[in-house]
């Protein structure tokens, strides 16, 4: 593979998650609003450019956010729990070689995410993509 094309990587991750059926929408960019359950692929938190001779390969570290619910209630917790049950499907969809790079889920954690003024319960996947 060659140097990273950020749009391809972000859109590819979103499409992989959407294909699992765990979310109703997935975005490889920051949309104006989301309807849960949803996936947001955020901008890279870290870039390793030129990891091979002549910039033949890059490594990107991206957060993939699975937004479960808008409420910090029992129903929200239950929606987050459903994501944890389905996490193995998401891992399988993300892991491995793709046209846009080779992806690996390095870590997962539960968190709250504020997006467009709304707080969501979320499962955060830290994904490494080598291009």
- Which residues does 95 contact at the CB level (< 8 Å), separation at least 6? 103, 104, 105
Distances (CA, A) of 56 to 9, 79, 96: 16, 41, 19
Distances (CA, A) of 29 to 14, 25, 71, 98, 106: 9, 12, 23, 19, 21
- Using one digit for the tens of pLDDT, what is the confidence trace for 96-114? 999 999 999 999 999 999 9
Overall domain count for the chain: 1
Decide if 125 is inside a domain. no
The pLDDT score that the predictor gives to residue 80 is: 93
Q: Is the pLDDT of residue 120 over 60?
A: yes
Decide if 46 is inside a domain. yes
- Using one digit for the tens of pLDDT, what is the confidence trace for 55-90? 567 889 999 999 999 988 899 999 999 989 988 999
Q: Provide the domain limits for residue 49.
A: 6-76+83-120
User: Can you say whether the dihedral through the CA atoms of 109, 68, 24, 27 is positive or negative?
Assistant: negative
- Taking the C-alpha atoms of residue 66 and residue 113, their distance in angstroms, rounded to an integer, is 10
Decide if 130 is inside a domain. no
Decide if 45 is inside a domain. yes
Decide if 128 is inside a domain. no
Decide if 129 is inside a domain. no
Decide if 54 is inside a domain. yes
Decide if 126 is inside a domain. no
The pLDDT score that the predictor gives to residue 1 is: 44
Phi-psi sector, 117: left (phi>0), alpha (psi -120 to 50), beta? left
Contact 16, 125 (CB under 8 A): no
Count of beta carbons in the 10 Å neighbourhood of residue 56: 12
What's the pTM value of the predicted model, to 2 decimals?
0.90
């Amino acid at each position: 593979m060659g140097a990273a094309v950020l749009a391809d990587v972000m859109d590819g991750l979103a499409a992989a998650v959407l294909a699992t059926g765990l979310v109703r929408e997935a975005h490889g960019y920051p949309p104006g609003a989301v309807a849960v359950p949803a996936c947001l692929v955020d901008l890279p938190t870290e870039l390793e450019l030129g990891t091979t001779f002549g910039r033949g390969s890059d490594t990107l570290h991206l957060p993939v956010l699975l937004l479960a619910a808008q409420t910090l209630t029992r129903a929200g917790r239950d929606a987050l729990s459903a994501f944890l049950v389905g996490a193995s499907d998401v891992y399988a969809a993300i892991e491995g070689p793709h046209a846009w790079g080779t992806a690996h889920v390095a870590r997962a954690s539960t968190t709250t995410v504020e997006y467009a003024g709304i707080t969501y319960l979320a499962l955060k996947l830290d994904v490494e993509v080598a291009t």
